[in-house]
Amino acid sequence: MAENKISLRIGGPAGMGIMQTGLLFSKCCARIGLHVFDYIEYPSLIRGGHNTYQIRADHEEIHSQVVPVDILIALDEATMNIHCDELRDHSIVIYDGKTVKPENTRLHCGIRCPLPMSEIIQELGAKEIMRNTLALGAALGIMDYPFEVCEGVIRDIFKGKKEEIIKEDVDAARRGYDLGKEKYRHLSQFTLHTVDSPKRMVLTGNEAIALGAVKGGLKIYAAYPMTPASSILHTLAAWQERHNIVVKQTEDEVGTINFAIGAGFAGVRAMVGTSGGGFALMQEGISLGGITETPVVVVEVQRGGPGTGVPTFTEQADLKFVLNAGHGDFPRILLAPGDVEEAFHLTTTALNLAEKYQTPVMIISDKYLGESHKSAELFDTSNYTIDRGKLLREAPPNYLRYEDSPDGISPRTIPGVPNGLFLANSDEHTPFGWSCEEIPNRNTQMEKRMRKLETLKQEMPGPNLYGPEDADLTIVTWGSMKGPVLEAMNWLNREGCKVNVLHLTWVSPFPVEAVTNVLVNAKKTLMVENNFSSQMAGVIREQTGIAVQEKLLKYDGRPFWPEEVYDKVRSML
């Protein structure tokens, strides 16, 4: 019997409401106190194709999805064909007995649980899309889940909608639940029941970034829609009135970055979000932020490139691009969150850093982090304070905006401050801002700007080392691969292996000493990253001179599954 441990997958054509049903199950699991992680795959189209939503829930902490599927809801035969190899003998397969025929597919194991979905939907007079809800209800019944909690979740999700719409959903879930319980509960090894736990959210990396931005005092968010960054735009747009912020869909990404830089220059916290292609259009603007020393935060949620690439899939192949964003030398700050907590906290940090260091701060995420939901306790913001750095609302006598300073950071006025006039100039400039191409001034200004990185190095945290300090093998990874890698590490250590994980979240400035220390002392090293050319291993070598010994790379648009990391480590030990 498996209690409070489940891996469920729903699959079917796009446009069938799979996303909403998947999220409903994630929330149902979190509501009874379980940890949740989900992973979504969908093609770049609105109807048809193959969508899947995979949810894993556990009473113990989890970090990623896993390969085996305990319950498969197959809304079409394709789902059965594609995912039957993930099933085990005792897995449950739920489908509409009328429209899905297992004999037409490769289905070779699992317990078949057909349901008369079409008939029930007809009988209820419900929309076709309710089939999902019905099937999910059945899954919950099969696991003996407390139905009243599910009804509560449905009511919360549809809060504000008409009662008849809500009731349609609740009824469909209820019918499925009763049927599932009556017909198949006795065949099921899986049970879900309420456990004691703190209240948890279920949210994506993008939503965590949006929350972090609001907490960090964001006033203006600008973006041009681009998967997989768009849900930051949607989330913030919906909060405009609640949080008194301005969200602007601009004409293009060139406009986006210049607009945000204008806002930053005028004294508000501004952020933009995009994916690789849009980020490419922002290059000149980011460089402009560097020389004018204007605070701005840029979020790059990577998808598979190059070109339009695999637009709804994940990759970590923009690392070196983002690290070198914009032409010329200027201080670039780059943060790479690995999960929703880090996405939230690093966004609040980024908004502080941008103002404190008066330079563009970039956050690199990806589709896997940006669109996968994870459960998390309400974020603790008690240690966060807004730090506006050397912002002046009154100017001292003989004020000079770009005056040289030991830490590289000059006091900064904003328009409206009397006697604080200056010229923010994309040409090299004097301490006032006047254009100037003379050698000593050029050197002073360049060195002043670049010195900011040295100052920042003194206050930045080192990378995180997870697992035993003294390990036989060290996995090095960054950003969203934290989840599958930690998951694999836990499995390995539970089996008596000694494996630890070095996870990088601050990429620029690079934590040279801390990384060197770990790698010099490591017995064996393995780099795990989601790209073809092992970009982070290249960065590490450039920064520390150390080559990570082995690499586990993936560039098929999918994240790592912990099993893949586990197998690789096993082969090395």
| Residues of this chain that bind another protein (CB under 8 A) | 30, 199-203, 207, 211, 214-215, 217, 219-220, 222, 239-246, 248, 250-252, 254-256, 258-270, 284-285, 288, 292, 378-379, 381, 385-386, 414-427, 433-435
Nearer to another protein, 135 or 340 (CB): 340
**55/384 Cα distance (integer angstroms):** 32
Nearer to another protein, 214 or 565 (CB): 214
Q: How far is the CB of 430 from another protein (least distance, A)?
A: 9
Torsions phi, psi of 139, nearest 5? -60, -40
Name the token pair of 478: 């960054």
Nearer to another protein, 126 or 153 (CB): 153
Nearer to another protein, 49 or 217 (CB): 217
Other CB atoms closer than 10 Å to residue 282's CB: what's the count?
30
**333/111 Cα distance (integer angstroms):** 52
Q: Are 422 and 416 in contact (CB under 8 A)?
A: no
Q: Give 189: exposed, middle or buried? Use CB within 10 Å, 0-12, 13-18, 19+.
A: middle
Nearer to another protein, 216 or 338 (CB): 216
**20/132 Cα distance (integer angstroms):** 9
Q: Give 473: exposed, middle or buried? Use CB within 10 Å, 0-12, 13-18, 19+.
A: buried
Name the token pair of 274: 């995009």
Strands 5-14 and 69-74: parallel
Q: Are 450 and 404 in contact (CB under 8 A)?
A: no
Helix or strand or coil: residue 191? strand
Q: How far is the CB of 35 from another protein (least distance, A)?
A: 14
Query: CA-CA distances (angstroms) from residue 47 to 9, 12, 14, 17?
Result: 19, 10, 5, 11
Torsions phi, psi of 191, nearest 5? -135, 140
Q: How far is the CB of 441 from another protein (least distance, A)?
A: 14
**539/542 Cα distance (integer angstroms):** 5
Q: How far is the CB of 21 from another protein (least distance, A)?
A: 17
Q: How far is the CB of 391 from another protein (least distance, A)?
A: 11
Nearer to another protein, 140 or 424 (CB): 424
Which stretches of 11-104 are DSSP H helices?
18-31, 77-83
Q: How far is the CB of 285 from another protein (least distance, A)?
A: 7
Helix or strand or coil: residue 269? strand
Nearer to another protein, 169 or 293 (CB): 293
Helix or strand or coil: residue 458? helix
Sorted by sequence, the CB contacts under 8 Å of residue 420 that are 6+ apart come out as: 392, 394, 395, 399, 401, 413, 414
Nearer to another protein, 4 or 206 (CB): 206
Q: How far is the CB of 382 from another protein (least distance, A)?
A: 11
**96/410 Cα distance (integer angstroms):** 67
Q: Are 42 and 32 in contact (CB under 8 A)?
A: no
Q: How far is the CB of 8 from another protein (least distance, A)?
A: 20
Name the token pair of 534: 């092992």
Q: Are 372 and 541 in contact (CB under 8 A)?
A: no
Q: State CA 531 to chain mean position distance.
A: 17
**347/206 Cα distance (integer angstroms):** 10
Q: How far is the CB of 241 from another protein (least distance, A)?
A: 5
**401/393 Cα distance (integer angstroms):** 13
Query: CA-CA distances (angstroms) from residue 151 to 25, 127, 288, 314?
Result: 11, 18, 52, 33
Q: How far is the CB of 53 from another protein (least distance, A)?
A: 17
Nearer to another protein, 102 or 420 (CB): 420
Torsions phi, psi of 108, nearest 5? -125, -5
Q: How far is the CB of 535 from another protein (least distance, A)?
A: 28
Nearer to another protein, 192 or 245 (CB): 245
The partner residues of 302 in beta bridges, in order of sequence, read 366
Q: How far is the CB of 342 from another protein (least distance, A)?
A: 16
Helix or strand or coil: residue 364? strand
Q: How far is the CB of 438 from another protein (least distance, A)?
A: 13
Nearer to another protein, 292 or 544 (CB): 292
Q: Are 334 and 364 in contact (CB under 8 A)?
A: yes
Nearer to another protein, 413 or 500 (CB): 413
Nearer to another protein, 246 or 450 (CB): 246
Nearer to another protein, 85 or 377 (CB): 377
Q: How far is the CB of 451 from another protein (least distance, A)?
A: 24
Q: How far is the CB of 57 from another protein (least distance, A)?
A: 15
Nearer to another protein, 399 or 506 (CB): 399
Q: Report which DSSP code applies to 396.
A: P
Q: Are 262 and 222 in contact (CB under 8 A)?
A: no
